[in-house]
Structure 1
Amino acid sequence: MPYYRLEGVTPVVHPTAYVHPTAVLIGDVIVGPNCYVGPGAVMRGDFGRLVLEEGANLQDTCVMHGFPGCVTKVEKDGHIGHGAVLHGCVIGRDAMVGMNAVVMDGAHIAERSIVAAAAFVKAGFECEPQSLVMGAPAKVKRPLSDEEFAWKQQGTQEYQRLVTRCRDSLEPCEPLAEIDADRPTLLAGDTQPKQQTLDKK
């Protein structure tokens, strides 16, 4: 695992978390219980502390870095989509940041909110709980419906189950030369239809 101590400060990973072997954790990083850190994710705690609270996920190729002296945090059950960048911000409890979104220093995404894919959230941004945040620069478009928030929770729960799946069965291997007979398909819950609803509003 690429973990790096910096100036005597060592990353902390709870035993129930899963951190992919290609993720990089440096310095003042704290990964809480039942968290998922995906392939190629980087948590670079060389300026400030980086925290993933219980049940949060940081997906493939995400970058988490801090403004000097601050705490960058994803609170309990936070959900950070592929390729997102979090810099010196706080992502509230049960909130989601979509794929390739950027959230800048001092921004606070309130609990149960969703930042849309590819949004750019400026420094110091704040919103009310259960907001839909979209655009570049990002603005609050409207409140989230309970149905939309339930869709977010369903996706987060799939990532929490993925922690156990990876810890129990993920292992390096050589690829097969041909498709094996009776090949199983790895399927999680069906969350895609609700995503289309969010994108159209």
Structure 2
Amino acid sequence: MVKVYSIDSVTPVVHPTAYVHPTAVLIGDVIVGPRCYVGPLACLRGDFGRLVLQEGANVQDTCVMHGFPGTDTVIEIDGHIGHGAVLHGCHIGRNAMVGMNAVVMDGAQIGESSIVAAAAFVKAGMIVPPSSLVVGAPARVMRTLREDELAWKITGTKQYHELTERSLRSMREVEALTEVEPDRVRVDAAMTDSHKHKQ
């Protein structure tokens, strides 16, 4: 059961087509839209500002979202937030990606289809133009993204769309086995079979 908490009579909203892992924590003014994925141990604290995940966004394991009172922290459609990233009072544009362990601070705006590199620190108020590669601590715009880099990002986000469906369909809490089965199926093979059955 997902850990969902109301505060001051404001309750999180999770669309029925979204998947939120049972170990994630949602507090207060959190809105999780259609086809979103929220990973294990993610913490979305809407106890001050509002947190919004638009359709197809993913927030991966151990990510944190929070904001100051009166602010909105928003991930637009197909936004992709990598493992361990922290978003605080910022705006992530459509189809943008924030890499693993990156931090995006208050009032920062990440433009559509941009990529913030892993471990980058985006300072408060920074405006990142669309289709930019952002690196470093403090972060700076390095250059415009290449088509192959954008295609790589889109592929990764599609995998999380599929993971949302797989998780809703088949993820269950179980007891661990005590030994490896002789004909053990690989997850990648199971993914392929699942995709075939959908067609």
Counterpart residue identity of residue 111, structure 1 = E
Gaps of 5+ in 2: 193-199
CA distance in 2, matches of 1:101, 1:7: 31
- Give CA deviations for 1:112-141 in whole Å, capped at 9, x if unaligned: 000000000000001111000000000000
Deviates more, 1:105-114 or 1:179-188: 179-188
Q: Which amino acid aligns with 1:176?
A: L
State the distance in 1 between where 2:21 and 2:9 align: 23
List structure 1 segments (4+ residues) > 2 angstroms apart after TM superposition: none
**C-alpha distance in 1 between matches for 2:16 and 2:163:** 15
Provide the identity percentage.
Answer: 67
Q: TM-score normalised to the size of structure 2? A: 0.94
1:52-71 map, 5 Å: 52-71=53-72
* Counterpart for residue 195 of structure 2: none
1:44 aligns with 2:45: yes
Within 5 A, what are the aligned runs for 1:27-106? 27-106=28-107
Question: What corresponds to 2:108 in structure 1?
Answer: 107
Q: Which moved more, 1:180-189 or 1:113-122?
A: 180-189
The alignment yields a C-alpha RMSD, in angstroms, of 0.9
Supply the distance in 2 between the matched residues of 1:127 and 1:80 (Cα, whole angstroms): 16
Within-5 A mapping of 1:1-201: 1-187=2-188
What whole-Å deviation, never above 9, does each CA across 1:15-39 have from its counterpart, x for those lacking one? Answer: 0000000000000000000000000
| Alpha-carbon separation, structure 2, partners of 1:101 and 1:166 | 25
Question: Aligned partners of 1:39, 1:181: CA distance in 2, in Å?
Answer: 29
| Partners of 2:170 and 2:129 in 1: CA distance | 40
How far 1:175 moved relative to its partner?
Answer: 0.8
Q: d(CA) in 1 for partners of 2:9 and 2:178?
A: 46
More off after superposition, 174-183 vs 101-110:
174-183
- Count of residues in correspondence between the two structures: 189
What is the letter of the counterpart of residue 40 of structure 2? Answer: P
Could you tell me how far apart the structure 1 residues matched to 2:174 and 2:120 are? Answer: 37
What is the identity, as a one-letter code, of the residue corresponding to 1:63? V
Structure 2 SS opposite 1:182: coil
User: What is the TM-score with the length of structure 1 in the denominator?
Assistant: 0.93
Distance 1:128 1:28 in 2: 28
AA in 1 matched with 2:109: H
* Matching residue's letter, 2:87: L
Segment drifting more, 178-187 vs 110-119: 178-187
In structure 1, runs of 5+ residues without a counterpart are 190-201
Question: What SS does the aligned partner of 2:41 have?
Answer: coil
Read off the aligned partner of 1:150 and give its amino acid letter: A
Deviation at 1:181, TM superposition (A): 1.7
